[in-house]
Every structure is written in structure tokens, then in C-alpha cells.
């Protein structure tokens, strides 16, 4: 893909008088594959950074917090049991 002139995020933000909610890097291979196959970015690369940015942007625009499953620690079951005993 030929290089095209690009406006810097800071320059664009200054022009529209607001900061960017998300900056999505252009990946010609990823976007091309999605367009050619008629698929969403998350279907092509589910765990990729670009899919995560789109999910975060959608959550922000919808006014909802992006729910991520918290990691469970080794001591979580023990702490949960102790918490029940103290109630």
C-alpha cells in the first residue's frame, strides 16, 4: 500500500478542539483481510490490540464500562471463605 499523507493525532485534536478517544493504527494486512472476507476485525484477530481498541471505543461510545474478567489469585477461594465467616 502506498504511503499517504497522514495527519498527526495531536494536530487533528487541535483542529477539532478535543482529545482523541482512541487512536487506531492502520494495519493494511489486517484491514484488507477483514474487508476481503467480509468479517469484523475481531473475527480475524480476536486477541489483537486493534480489536481491543475497537471494543474499548464501542464501550466508551455506548457509555458502558468494558467488563473484563478479573484474574483469580491463588488465595481468592480462601479469602472468600474467610469473608463469609465474618459476616
The whole model's pTM is what? Answer: 0.62
Cβ density class 10-47: b for 16+ within 10 Å, e for less: eeeeeeeeeeeeeeeeebeebeeebeeeeeebeebbee
Would 34 be classed as within a structural domain? yes
> What pLDDT was estimated at residue 49?
92
Would 56 be classed as within a structural domain? yes
> What pLDDT was estimated at residue 69?
62
> What pLDDT was estimated at residue 78?
80
Would 61 be classed as within a structural domain? yes
When divided into structural domains, the chain yields a total of 1
How confident is the prediction along the chain (87 residues), in pLDDT tens digits per residue? 556 667 888 898 899 998 888 888 888 899 999 999 999 999 999 889 999 999 989 888 888 765 666 667 788 888 888 876 655
Let me know: does 65 contact 59? Beta carbons within 8 Å.
yes
The residue segments making up the domain with residue 32 are: 27-68
Amino acid at each position: 500500500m502506498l504511503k499517504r499523507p497522514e495527519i498527526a493525532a495531536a494536530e487533528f485534536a487541535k483542529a477539532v478542539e478535543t482529545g482523541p478517544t482512541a487512536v487506531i493504527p492502520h494495519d493494511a494486512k489486517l484491514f484488507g483481510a477483514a474487508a476481503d472476507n467480509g468479517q469484523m476485525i475481531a473475527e480475524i484477530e480476536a486477541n489483537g490490540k486493534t480489536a481491543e481498541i475497537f471494543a474499548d471505543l464501542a464501550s466508551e461510545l455506548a457509555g458502558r464500562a468494558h467488563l473484563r474478567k478479573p484474574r483469580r489469585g491463588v488465595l481468592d477461594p480462601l479469602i472468600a471463605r474467610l469473608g463469609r465467616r465474618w459476616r
